[in-house]
Amino acid sequence: EGDKIDSESGGPEMPLACLTDFQAFARERLPKSTWDFIEGGADDSFTRDDNIAAFKRIRLRPRYLKNVVNVDTRTTIQGEEITAPICISPTGFHCLVWPDGEMSTARAAQAAGVCYITSTFATCALEDIAATAPRGLRWFQLYVHPDRQLSKQLVQRVESLGFRALVITVDVPKLGNRRHDIRNQLDLKLNLLLKDLHSPKERTSMPYFQMSPIDSSICWNDLSWLQSITRLPIILKGILTKEDAELAVKHNIHGIIVSNHGGRQLDDVLASIDALAEVVAAVKGKMEVYLDGGIRTGNDVLKALALGAKCVFLGRPILWGLAYKGEDGVKEVLNIIKNEFHTSMALTGCQSVAEINQDMIQFSRL
């Protein structure tokens, strides 16, 4: 390790040039059980790996001799402008990776001008996350608690703190099998205070997620209850089929994040990029569709947009950036992939994200 890491600056000798460079750094730096927790997939991790491999089965079809002096990566999600269609997926426990955890992430997202979806399992208080980056665009990812009253309080708190959308994660009616965490006997409840889940004055009360934290009884019909307690747009994260996409339209949902939870829940489902076209076709333009899972390069972003995503989200790469240098590390990660995406647009002949379409890709025969 000694010859690879510059001990004075705490950083590596060579500049990091792509997102997987940050992955290699995080692997060296983090304790094994933390690394395994972040990197792990469910069961055989087939879907986790396929999320990445599936992007490599798609080829680009560039168009040349188009003026690309002014490439504009900006777009909007739920009506709000972001500097590029590359935002931050909800991941829990940022304080495992960097001391002030989610506060660093929030500042980096604000500086980059992208949306940060804060997880229910955040390890900083929501008030502190909001206060440290007051101008940042934030959505809140909710796991519905069996005690609906507690969930309602949390939703109202989130709304009053200026979060702009509620993201309901649908793919965790129970936790997937994470073999490494079993082998490492990882116990996040013991390691971390889930500070986030009560307002500051209530912190001594029973942790929100003690016992059975996630309500596995939640159904489509319960969405109207959520809609009745908030004015925020509701986005479903984890939809993978046209059947569920059609139900989302029927239930007046505002957006879908096509996702398989980074391959951490049900293994052997489609790679998220392979499920995207089906969902996009099913919603028929009635809501925005986003994607997460396996986004590692600017070309991946371009491919997802070509298949109909309005925006993509990054999970693990943000944690690698945090592990590297906290706020600055996340800024670097976002900066690198935004620059890559700018290059992808220029080299395929796109001045604006609206020009990215299906003709720009082709599935390769393996």
Ligand X SMILES: Cc1cc2nc3c(=O)[nH]c(=O)nc-3n(C[C@H](O)[C@H](O)[C@H](O)COP(=O)(O)O)c2cc1C
Instruction: Pick out the residues of the known binding site for FMN.
Output: 90-92, 119, 141, 169, 237, 259, 292-296, 315-316
Q: Does residue 101 bind ligand X (CB under 6 A)?
A: no
Alpha-carbon radius of gyration of the chain? 20
Contacts by 204-209 with C-beta closer than 8 Å and gap 24+?
A: 208/145, 208/150, 208/154, 209/120, 209/121, 209/145
Residue 141 is encoded by which pair of tokens? Answer: 């990812």
Helix (H) or strand (E) segment spanning residue 239: strand 234-239
14 vs 6: CA distance, rounded Å = 9
Footprint on residues 32-51 left by ligand X (CB under 6 A) = 38, 51
For the annotated binding site, the residues are 90-92, 119, 141, 143, 169, 178, 237, 259, 261, 264, 292-296, 315-316
Site string for ligand X, 284-323 (x = CB under 6 A): --------xxxx------------------xxx-------
The closest residue (CB) to ligand X is: 315
Q: How far is the CB of 83 from ligand X (least distance, A)?
A: 19
Q: Does residue 89 bind ligand X (CB under 6 A)?
A: yes
Given the DSSP bridges, would you call strands 166-169 and 86-88 parallel, antiparallel or unpaired?
A: unpaired
* 14 Cβ contact partners less than 8 Å away, ≥ 6 residues apart: none
Q: How far is the CB of 277 from ligand X (least distance, A)?
A: 19
Q: How far is the CB of 128 from ligand X (least distance, A)?
A: 18
With the CA atoms of 308, 353, 82 and 249 taken in that order, what torsion angle do they form, in degrees rounded to the nearest 10?
Answer: -20
Q: Does residue 334 bind ligand X (CB under 6 A)?
A: no
Among 141, 153, 299, 348, binds ligand X (CB under 6 A): 141
Catalytic option among 94, 198, 261, 342: 261
Footprint on residues 177-206 left by ligand X (CB under 6 A) = none
Confirm whether 94 is a catalytic residue.
no
Judge contact between 130 and 124, C-beta under 8 A: no
- 3-state SS string for 240-254: CCHHHHHHHHHCCCC
For the annotated binding site for glyoxylate, the residues are 143, 178, 261, 264
Q: How far is the CB of 81 from ligand X (least distance, A)?
A: 23
Q: How far is the CB of 328 from ligand X (least distance, A)?
A: 20
98 vs 103: CA distance, rounded Å = 10
Residues in the chain: 366
Footprint on residues 208-267 left by ligand X (CB under 6 A) = 237, 259, 261-262, 264
Catalytic center residues: 261
Chain positions contacting ligand X, by CB under 6 A: 38, 51, 89-92, 119, 121, 141, 169, 237, 259, 261-262, 264, 292-295, 314-316
